[in-house]
Amino acid sequence: MSFAVAIDGPSGAGKSSLAKKLALHYGLLYIDTGAMYRAIALYAMRRGVDPHDHARVIPLLEEVHLELRHAHAEQRIEMNGEDVTKEVRREEVGMGAAAVSSCPQVRTFLVEWQRSLAKQENIIMDGRDIGTVVLPDAQVKIFLTASAAVRAQRRYLELCEKGVDTTYEKVLALVEKRDYEDTHREQSPLCQAQDAVLVDTSDCDFDEAFRRLCSVIDRKRKDG
Ligand code: DC
């Protein structure tokens, strides 16, 4: 197996920005699996299918062709030839992704793809079930978290910077709803793998979180 770093954790813990920086630092390919679930949700929504309606989502898996492209640790995702990297980040697509991600057929479809990517390259992959289900043999497993209040505050500031009209309370309610859905679904719920290292970034900034993750990876690499 090639070298793999698995990063799991709740939404808004900083997984993707930290994983991108780690990818550049260690020369790994960054794979954001959330974008895959988001793309399936977007496809369903565009076809007028409710992402909760799994019986209607499943046949769509035969029509949707997803591809990843990578440049400078940035991942772009294409859906039937169209670059949807930006569109899948929309809040309602994220809610749709949470809905399709509880469908076992969707998970099997994406997990197979994720495993085949990890076989080809040295990767850093982030998601909810990477250390537990997708890559149980990953050399490094990290469970990255922060309190819901801190994650909501970070997300609220990001949205304010983008000029989105919202309140901290609304953002916190969405963060808590997403956490509930991710941890309570029957299929591969979000949980820390037994052998994952817990990194809580509630009390630290980005640079400190990056240093903590580097020290976990360096230690694991040294120990072999
Ligand atoms: O990380 P994200 O916000 O882009 O993920 C979107 C949704 O997809 C989230 O609600 C959980 C789900 N997801 C999942 O179930 N398993 C993964 N490996 C990645 C994401």
Burial 178-202 (b: 16+ CB within 10 A, else e): bbebbeebeebebebbeebbebbbe
Any atom of ligand 1 within 6 Å of the Cβ of 155: no
Where are the strands (E) in 13-96, listed by range?
A: 29-32, 66-71, 74-79, 82-83
Which residue minimizes the CA distance to atom 2 of ligand 1? 34
Give residue 176 CA to ligand 1 midpoint distance, Å: 14
Give residue 223 CA to ligand 1 midpoint distance, Å: 31
Q: Tell me the pLDDT of the chain (224 aa) as tens digits.
A: 589 999 999 988 999 999 999 999 999 999 999 999 999 999 999 999 999 999 999 999 999 999 999 987 789 999 999 999 999 999 899 989 999 999 999 999 999 999 999 999 999 999 999 999 999 999 999 999 999 999 999 999 989 998 999 999 999 999 999 899 889 988 889 999 999 999 999 999 999 999 999 999 999 888 76
pTM of the shown model: 0.93
